[in-house]
Amino acid sequence: MNRSVRKFCGVIILAGVIASCGGSDSSPATEAPVTEAPATDAPATEGVLNVPADYPTIQGAVDAAVEGDLILIAPGTYSEAVQVTTNNIIIRGLDRNTVILDGNFELDNGIRVVGANGVALENMTAMNYTKNGFFWTGVTGYRGDYLTAWRNGDYGVYVFDSVGGVIDNSYGGGSPDAGVYVGECYPCDSLIRNFVSEHNGLGYSGTNAGGNLVITGSIFRNNRAGIVPNSGSYELCYPQRKTTIIGNLVYSNNQADTPAIDVAILAMGNGILSAGGVQNIIERNRVWDHNKTGIGLVPFLEDDPNDEMPEKSAWDMSCADSKKLTPVQPGGGILWDSQDNTVRNNVLEDNRRADIAVGSAGTDLWTLGNCFEGNTYTTSAPLNLEKLAPCGTPLSKDTGDWTAGDLQVITWLADQATAPPSVDWKTATLPEMPVFDSMPDAATAPGVVASATPPVVDLDAITVPDKIS
């Protein structure tokens, strides 16, 4: 639906005329004169629909909503799987902790935004869904704010094949895959901020995602593994590249009793682990208490791929363009090496295999372009890693002994055989669900549609966060 028609619908509602402007394909029902409606990026509360006062179900309100509408949900438990296909609506709970979408282990997604742009989900809890708590797919422009995703069967907060958004002040716990995930986008133009992710298989997973993708100010703890950007040809837009992981607390990701997909079991005991990711910036994080590495850059062996690996010269290609290419069966496994990542100014301690590490499955480490500088740390694999692989100059095999203290990441594959197995997400023991800060002024704040431009973060101003008690 084009922009001018959208504005026109807004005007009709302001005029109090009932118009059939639902959905993204309708046209105005009247011929009232047009005046300029507010632009999409400005606050634009066209109408407010109350659940259950005006509509007994959230889905009922969503179906009735037109672009710009704000849906306010009163405290209560809603056993719904809500589908959203209308652009530019805001769905907000009046209280984060007591507006609960409960899937009862039967329903698939708490709220699924299917190809609808500009949809904001705010201030509520989704639990016990067989797939995801909150899910956007195929959208431009999204926002999740003050969301709690608890005990859902795939991901807590799941963003797939979408660009332009922010997940802020939110929580994901008890999922076998990741508490929060952004996948299949380049450039993603997305921000994950103030997120707490715990007791999941992975704290964060981002398959083939990056490009102006910032993860900051967040906590990843007590998962099997913390932050795991990764590449693979089972989904599009590989390799994973250009994610900025900055100013996070990442600790104690050794949890043996979480639900866990296989990759989480393989990655267990690592804080920040790039599995075949490239050109990421991992900076000013505080990372501690991991059985394996604090920050590790390792390869991902894809033994039955769907396509060949793109050449380095193609790492600039947008996701949209790469989707147009025809996959070519490589006829054998492919090895995604982590390459050209920068690990800088992090503070690490008590990561028992190595605080900082880089490993390969045979490729010479000095050819991979990963650099380490300014980190506060004690152990590395290989030894003397910052001397071997400083930033700012091309790597050389002559900077020292690259084999001493090798990470031997290949042995991790064998570890899987004895690794603690997954735990059923439906029955996993989770800590008592925290009571979270609710959104301020939820009842009165105007609804703001989700912008496709995420908030700008002053990266230079970020400092290494302190441990929290």
Binding site for other proteins (CB under 8 A): 83, 85, 106-108, 112, 114-115, 130-131, 137-138, 153, 160-161, 177, 184, 232-238, 261-263, 303-307, 323, 327, 329
Q: Which is nearer to other proteins, 80 or 168 (CB)?
A: 80
Q: Which is nearer to other proteins, 205 or 339 (CB)?
A: 205
Cα angle 348, 352, 356 (rounded to 5 degrees) comes to 45
Beta strands in 284-426 (DSSP E): 286-290, 293-298, 300-302, 334-336, 342-344, 347-351, 354-358, 371-373, 380-381
Matching residue, tokens 């990470």: 407
Q: Which is nearer to other proteins, 117 or 123 (CB)?
A: 117
Q: Cβ 115 to other proteins, closest distance in Å? A: 4
Q: Which is nearer to other proteins, 25 or 441 (CB)?
A: 25
Q: Which is nearer to other proteins, 318 or 376 (CB)?
A: 318
Q: Cβ 387 to other proteins, closest distance in Å? A: 35
Alpha-carbon torsion 97, 103, 105, 108, what sign? negative
Q: Which is nearer to other proteins, 76 or 327 (CB)?
A: 327
CA dihedral 128, 132, 136, 138 (to 10 degrees): -140
Chain-centroid distance, C-alpha 381 = 28
CB atoms within 10 A of CB 242: 23
Q: Which is nearer to other proteins, 57 or 83 (CB)?
A: 83
User: Burial letters for 280-308: b for 16+ Cβ neighbours within 10 Å, e otherwise?
Assistant: bbbbbbbbbbbebbbbbbbbbbbeebbbe
Q: Cis peptide leading into 446, omega within 30 of 0?
A: no
Residues near 31 by beta carbon (within 8 Å), at least 6 away in sequence: none
Of 185, 135, 142, which is closest to residue 166 (Cα–Cα)?
142
Q: Which is nearer to other proteins, 388 or 428 (CB)?
A: 428
Q: Which is nearer to other proteins, 55 or 238 (CB)?
A: 238
Q: Cβ 384 to other proteins, closest distance in Å? A: 34
Q: Cβ 280 to other proteins, closest distance in Å? A: 19
| DSSP string for residues in 440-467 | TTTTTSPP-PPPSSPPP--GGG--PPPP
Q: Which is nearer to other proteins, 304 or 401 (CB)?
A: 304
3-state secondary structure of 267: helix
Q: Report the amino acid identity of residue 454.
A: P
Spatial distance between the Cα atoms of 64 and 23, rounded to a whole number of angstroms = 9
Q: Which is nearer to other proteins, 57 or 306 (CB)?
A: 306
Long-range contacts of 452-455, Cβ-Cβ distance < 8 Å, separation of 24 or more: 452/117, 452/118, 452/140, 452/141, 452/163, 452/164, 452/165, 452/189, 453/41, 453/164, 453/189, 454/164, 454/165, 454/166, 454/189, 454/190, 454/191, 454/212, 454/214, 455/166, 455/168, 455/191, 455/193
DSSP H or E run through 60: helix 58-64
Q: Which is nearer to other proteins, 32 or 328 (CB)?
A: 328
Spatial distance between the Cα atoms of 323 and 313, rounded to a whole number of angstroms = 16
Spatial distance between the Cα atoms of 401 and 32, rounded to a whole number of angstroms = 77
Q: Cβ 58 to other proteins, closest distance in Å? A: 15
Q: Residue 229 has which token pair?
A: 């950007």
Q: Cβ 184 to other proteins, closest distance in Å? A: 5
Of 461, 448, 354, which is closest to residue 70 (Cα–Cα)?
448
